[in-house]
A and B are shown apart, each in its own frame.
Chain A
Amino acid sequence: DTGVSQDPRHKITKRGQNVTFRCDPISEHNRLYWYRQTLGQGPEFLTYFQNEAQLEKSRLLSDRFSAERPKGSFSTLEIQRTEQGDSAMYLCASSLILAPNYGYTFGSGTRLTVV
């Protein structure tokens, strides 16, 4: 068990460019979550998957954001036409549906800076 892995750790992009982040969850975890965290705030929910099905999307997830988990394993989060307000830490987490310890395991995050 290598934990939740996120790539890249840091991304600097120019406004208007598209960016894609990848998350590899803990292998036996069937749920995968994306959160966004800005400075001085707690993480905020964006979306989550159960296996390959995207079960919920937050209102924070504008139409410029899309997330996929094509084979129920790794997931990607794409942001199109980035804006400065998209600058944040993007966190991925995973869990089992019926784990006795329901806490999510988070990855180290991808820090996005839009210039």
Chain B
Amino acid sequence: GQQLNQSPQSMFIQEGEDVSMNCTSSSIFNTWLWYKQDPGEGPVLLIALYKAGELTSNGRLTAQFGITRKDSFLNISASIPSDVGIYFCAGLKVGGSQGNLIFGKGTKLSVKP
């Protein structure tokens, strides 16, 4: 099935560093979502974006809906050990199904204390 292009695949950072990851597509999206998944659990919603150019924060997390509507990024500032996990971008494609949330392959984040 179709998936979004998410990068990087993995990151190894020191506690306190900032993190940036992004998601791109050749298609236009009208909703971008960012999820975090811990091992053996379902994804948990972090941030939802609904308008091109929208910049939204949730604590140390900031995400933006790209102007072209084909990309989104997520920044995490001052990382802490509990930020470890897999981060997924997901989106609803314009003209696509309302139920078919398309996911990226994930960015695996490791944080060294």
Contacts and interface: CB of A to CB of B under 8 A. Distances in A.
A21 interface: no
Interface in A1-51: 4, 6, 31, 33, 35, 40-45, 47-48
B104 A109 contact: no
Given A48-B99, A58-B100, A102-B50, A42 B45 contact: no
Contacts of B26: none
Contact-residue bracket for chain B? 20 to 34
Interface stretch (B11-19, B35-43, B72-80): B35-43
B1 interface: yes
Of A6, A101, A111, chain B has the most CB atoms within 10 Å of the CB of: A101
A5 to B, nearest CB: 11
Contact of B48 (A35, A55, A102): A102
Contact of A104 (B3, B40, B45, B104): B45
Contacts of A85: none
A106 interface: yes
Interface residues of A, number: 30
B43 A43 contact: yes
B1 A44 contact: yes
Contacts of A31: 99
Contacts of A43: 43, 88, 101, 103
Chain A CB within 10 Å — which of B42, B88, B92, B100 has the most?
A: B42
Interface in B35-65: 35, 40-45, 48, 50
Given A42-B106, A106-B42, 17 more contacts: A40-B106, A41-B3, A42-B90, A42-B105, A43-B43, A43-B88, A43-B101, A44-B3, A45-B102, A58-B100, A60-B1, A91-B42, A102-B31, A102-B33, A103-B33, A104-B45, A106-B35
Interface of B: 1, 3-4, 6, 31, 33, 35, 40-45, 48, 50, 88, 90, 92, 97, 99-106
> Would you list the 3 A-B pairs with minimal beta carbon distance, nearest first?
A42-B103, A48-B99, A106-B42
